[in-house]
Amino acid sequence: MIKFSLLLLFVATALSAQEYDSASVYVMFPRNAEPYHFTGVIGSTITFVPRPIAEEEIRQVPIIDATIRYNLPYNFALTAHLGTNYITNLASLGAQWNANYGRLAVAVGDYSSVWYGFASMDGFNVDAIGWLNTPHLSFGIAFDEMLITLRGELLFVTSRSTRAGDIEVASDRNIRAGGSLALYVEQPFFRNTHVLLGLKLNNLSNAYQSWLAFSTFNDPLLYPEFSIGILL
């Protein structure tokens, strides 16, 4: 129900978009931009951990996150992302190459992430750390007031280690953990502000978002993810 309410908000906001020239205000849209120029977004992301894994033990807490894009010459751009909900923390650095033709744009890129989680459960401490690599391909279409980006990602777990106290509970290396398909909308929202709305469907077998569940199941499961943010 929450998922569909968020989706409804996503659609409604997009449909009520205002007329505005959004040519230079975007982070996800795969279009070239003025070199040496920053754009950013600050907002929140919630991932729904599949119930068979989360059971009644894990409460889904949104992550507060920020993404910065720094545009470079020759159609390149660097991206940096930080996210935290205190228990789970993620930092990413990446690069992408953009190309556009009229209203259409495409980008190919890759980012590497490190995540760290820690918690105290029933009197013992657990923590986990993982490194991820995510190549991605984006397609964008620009409307006057709205920039839509469809992005596909592959997720590789470079390494992952979960510890309970001094004991390493689980460790993985070099796993193809699955992929995701994401839809992002960047558009004017209120007065001169712009908003980013994202819906990402992750199909993952080794998702950092569910590290606290200590899942032993190897098959991919669906982790829907909603993002909302204000573009800077």
> Which residues make up the interface to other proteins (CB under 8 A)?
3-4, 7, 10-11, 14-15, 50-53, 55-56, 122, 124, 141, 143-144, 146, 148, 150, 164-165, 167, 169-170, 181, 183, 185, 199, 201, 203, 215-219, 221-224
Nearer to other proteins, 42 or 170 (CB): 170
Question: Based on CB atoms, which residue is closest to other proteins, 35 or 52?
Answer: 52
- Min CB(129)–other proteins separation in Å: 18
Structure tokens at 128: 């986990």
**To 5 degrees, how large is the angle CA 81–CA 84–CA 89?**
85
* Closest separation in Å from C-beta 112 to other proteins: 27
* Distance set, CA 119 to CA 63, 116, 173 (Å): 16, 11, 23
Q: Could you give the CA distance from residue 2 to residue 121 in angstroms, rounded to a whole number?
A: 27
Q: Which is nearer to other proteins, 98 or 180 (CB)?
A: 180
Minimum CB separation from other proteins for residue 149, in Å? 11
Q: How far is the CB of 208 from other proteins (least distance, A)?
A: 17
∠ CA 40-41-46 to the nearest 5 degrees?
150
